[in-house]
């Protein structure tokens, strides 16, 4: 198991979360009742650090990866749209200036 202190995979012993000051094993989100998980206490046999791990349904992990991929794609698209928008804004400004010059020429010709 991955030890957050050793920062490597090492042998860990299962302990009660109450030894670490955590109450209960089954947890859930009060704002999302469909998200629940089990917490387990662990103790690294190399450095003797106690920590808590969470056991969740793999479907939630798959869903999280899918959401992160979708958000990355949205961000990439948003950056491209922003760049294109800046270019369009610059072109629109040039067009506005050109139209102003044309209006001035028309006014000069009629005067």
Domain boundaries, the chain: 1-56, 57-111
What is the C-alpha to C-alpha distance for residues 5 and 73, in angstroms, rounded to an integer?
A: 34
Q: Would you state the structure tokens that stand for residue 20, as one six-digit string?
A: 């670490």
pLDDT in tens, 43-93: 999 999 999 998 888 888 889 899 999 999 999 999 888 888 988 888 888
Q: Would you state the structure tokens that stand for residue 74, as one six-digit string?
A: 């949205």
* Residue of higher predicted confidence among 93 and 109: 93
pLDDT in tens, 19-42: 887 666 777 777 877 778 888 899
Q: Is the pTM above the cut of 0.85?
A: no
Identify which of 2, 10, 1, 18 has the alpha carbon closest to the alpha carbon of residue 45. Answer: 10
Question: Residue 1: is it exposed, middle or buried by C-beta count within 10 angstroms (0-12/13-18/19+)?
Answer: middle
């Amino acid at each position: 198991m991955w030890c957050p202190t050793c920062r490597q995979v090492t042998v860990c012993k299962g302990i009660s979360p109450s030894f670490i000051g955590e109450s209960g094993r089954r947890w859930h989100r009060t704002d999302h009742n469909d998200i629940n998980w089990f917490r387990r206490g662990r103790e690294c046999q190399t450095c003797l650090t106690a920590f808590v791990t969470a056991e969740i349904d793999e479907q939630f992990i798959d869903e999280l990866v899918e959401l992160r991929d979708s958000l990355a794609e949205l961000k990439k698209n948003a950056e491209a749209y922003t760049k294109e928008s800046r270019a369009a804004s610059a072109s629109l400004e040039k067009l506005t200036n050109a139209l102003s010059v044309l209006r001035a020429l028309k006014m000069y010709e009629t005067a």
